[in-house]
Amino acid sequence: MVNKGADAVTEAELVDGDTILGEKENLTPGLSGTFSLNVKAGKYQLYCPGADTEKVDFTVTQATGATAAATRSAEVTTALTAATTGYATYVRQQVADLVTTTGAFVTAVKAGDLDQAAKLYGAPRLDYERIEPVAESFGDLDPAIDARVDDAPDEASWTGFHRLEKAIFADRSLAGTAPIADKLNTDVGKLNTLVAKATFQPAQIANGATELLDEVGKTKITGEEERYSKLDLLDIQGNIEGADKAFTLLEPALKSLDPTLASTVRTRFTAMDKALAPYKEGTGYVSYDKVTQDQRRGLSQAVDALAEPLSQVAGVVVS
């Protein structure tokens, strides 16, 4: 996919109804990108938000001859099957934890306890950021839970964590936020119901890991994600941990398919952890407004160094 100059288009998605099967973000003018998936024969759509024609029909026909799965070794096939099962278990546990931590946070918000709400805000953010691409695959659910003010049509329709973040850390008032807190609780419950039925394929897991790194580069390093709480480093930790878990599950198969790539990605994850380490403070991180522009550039370079080889994993596990 290549964006040849459409300023309004920044991503491309393969969708099945309301479900996003795969996507490539940050396709600003002049940039290109890819993502890999195995999908069943059928009718899908390519969706490019902001394009003159936003949705284009995309038909997949059954391939002839031996499939990639049939030509893989039994060892690799077993490892990839274990990865898909393990990732489904991981996602469900993270969302179950999210239900619990969001519930506690919402209780504090509805009680009007600013200090307790501020204290409890970070835990569900970490749970959510680990599995963000999965939430994004369910249409409008991610915007309802995680939209920033500039993502919403207007402040009146703005809901989710960041609406409450502003109330707690900027406005210092929880007046009128009970309905927003209740909706957040409901939306997180919907996510929990949806992931209980979700299944994943190896390339989807790998693409999700890449998307998590894209999230870091797109909104976390800039400081726009947690602009009121300044907990951006916590969000970065969540994105990196989620990407690392996805890669770890695919790593046994990748070591057989492309040991050099597997080693490179693991080395870059280690370097990413080292890049974050100086900013740890107690059980969390320093406030992001204490991180200088030069330090942010250093973090960005570590993210880019990891994202480049990680983006190759999906193509390997598909082929």
Q: What DSSP state is assigned to residue 167?
A: I
Name the nearest CA neighbour of 24 among 38, 9, 8, 39.
9
Residues found in the chain: 319
Give 45's strand partners: 15, 57
What integer pLDDT is reported at residue 65 of this predicted model?
40
All structural domains of the chain: 12-64 (no CATH), 74-318 (1.20.1420.20)
Does residue 188 contact residue 160 with C-beta atoms inside 8 Å? no
pLDDT in tens, 29-85: 655 555 555 555 567 677 777 777 777 777 766 654 445 445 578 999 999 999 999
What integer pLDDT is reported at residue 42 of this predicted model?
67
CB atoms within 10 A of CB 156: 7
pTM of the complete model beyond 0.85 = no
What integer pLDDT is reported at residue 7 of this predicted model?
63
Helices and strands in the chain, H and E counts: 12, 6
CB atoms within 10 A of CB 150: 8
Low-confidence ranges of the chain (pLDDT < 50): 64-66, 68-69
What integer pLDDT is reported at residue 52 of this predicted model?
73
What integer pLDDT is reported at residue 154 of this predicted model?
87
